[in-house]
């Protein structure tokens, strides 16, 4: 157990950086719809960039340790499609309407519901994304602590905008900063939990090559969520150039964080 304490702490710190993104709600006014539009575009930019440039690049590499190049690419693509199917099912089972028996069906209430729903689904997607990240950080750190430290720092930096992606929609829908920060925290804590669960599963029932397929599936979930939910909402609450500013800003922040580390 002594060999796992430092890797676990590194994984915890990387995950908790998501919480830092949640604190952005202290600097944004709830009724600022331009900020909401830019924030939703920012969230989509972060998730699309991470999915297509990082996760979908890593998945075939992970699988290539067990398969030749072409089967590894096909499996990664299959995992990506599987993730999209999962996202469609999530979309289906979390309906986009409001029951009149429980909530006021005014346009304002419906808008708040849709924004909150976008935040909740984003939190689910980021949480799923954090599980393999936590697993990777924990496993790398437990094998080589000097390699694990930069990995943890890199993950911590790109978790900050993910925290923003979760917190902004929740805050704008509910007006509760503590609730927005709570969701950021719960998503972040999934990283060390994912590390521990991943180690247990890898040592018991889960084949190692499934990590690559899981990584591609998470990419599929994030891309679907970005194009189906975040970007349409961003365009609804702001002008097109607000959305573009958000998308480019999200991609820029993520790319710089990954380049410098």
- Kindly give the confidence (pLDDT) of every residue in the chain, 261 residues in length, as a single tens digit, with 9 standing for 90 and above: 556 778 888 888 888 888 888 887 787 776 667 777 887 788 788 878 878 888 888 889 888 888 888 999 999 999 999 989 987 887 776 554 333 333 344 555 566 666 767 667 777 767 776 776 777 677 667 666 775 676 677 677 667 777 877 887 788 777 788 888 888 888 888 888 877 876 777 677 777 777 788 778 878 887 887 888 778 878 877 778 888 998 998 888 878 766 765
Q: How big is the chain by its Cα radius of gyration, in Å?
A: 18
* Cα(114)–Cα(120) distance, integer angstroms: 10
Q: What is the DSSP string of 7-48?
A: HHHHHHHHHHHHHHHHGGGGGS-TT-HHHHHHHHHHHHHHHH
Q: Where are the domains of the chain?
A: 2-23+31-259
CA angle 34, 38, 41 (to 5 degrees): 140
- Are 7 and 138 in contact by the 8 Å Cβ rule? The answer is yes
What is the reported pLDDT for 76?
A: 92
Spacing of C-alpha 98 from chain mean position: 26
**Given this model, what pLDDT does residue 75 score?**
93
Answer for the pair 66, 217: CB distance below 8 angstroms, yes or no: no
pLDDT at 187: 84
- pLDDT of res. 258: 67
- What local confidence, expressed as pLDDT, does residue 77 receive? 94
Burial group, residue 65, by CB count within 10 angstroms (0-12, 13-18, 19+): exposed
Whether the pTM exceeds 0.85: the reply is no
């Amino acid at each position: 157990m002594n060999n796992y304490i430092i890797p676990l702490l590194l994984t915890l710190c990387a995950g908790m950086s998501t919480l830092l993104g949640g604190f952005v709600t202290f600097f944004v006014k709830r009724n600022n719809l331009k900020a909401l539009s830019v924030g939703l575009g920012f969230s989509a930019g972060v998730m699309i960039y991470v999915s297509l440039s990082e996760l979908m690049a890593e998945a075939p590499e992970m699988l290539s340790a067990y398969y030749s190049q072409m089967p590894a690419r096909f499996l990664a693509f299959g995992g990506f499609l599987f993730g999209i199917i999962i996202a469609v099912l999530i979309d289906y089972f979390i309906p986009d309407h409001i029951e009149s028996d429980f909530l006021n069906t005014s346009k304002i209430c419906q808008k708040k519901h849709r924004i909150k729903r976008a935040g909740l689904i984003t939190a689910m997607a980021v949480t799923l994304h954090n599980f393999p990240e936590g697993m990777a950080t924990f496993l790398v750190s437990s094998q080589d602590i000097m390699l694990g430290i930069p990995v943890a720092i890199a993950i911590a930096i790109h978790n900050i905008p993910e925290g923003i992606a979760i917190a902004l929609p929740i805050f704008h829908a509910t007006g509760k900063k503590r609730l927005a920060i709570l969701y950021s925290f719960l998503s972040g804590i999934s990283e060390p939990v994912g590390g521990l669960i991943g180690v247990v599963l890898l040592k018991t029932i889960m084949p190692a090559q499934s990590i690559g397929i899981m990584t591609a599936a998470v990419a599929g979930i994030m891309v679907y969520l970005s194009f189906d939910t975040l970007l349409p909402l961003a365009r609804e609450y702001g002008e097109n150039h607000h959305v573009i500013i958000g998308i480019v800003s999200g991609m820029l922040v993520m790319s710089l964080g990954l380049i410098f580390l």
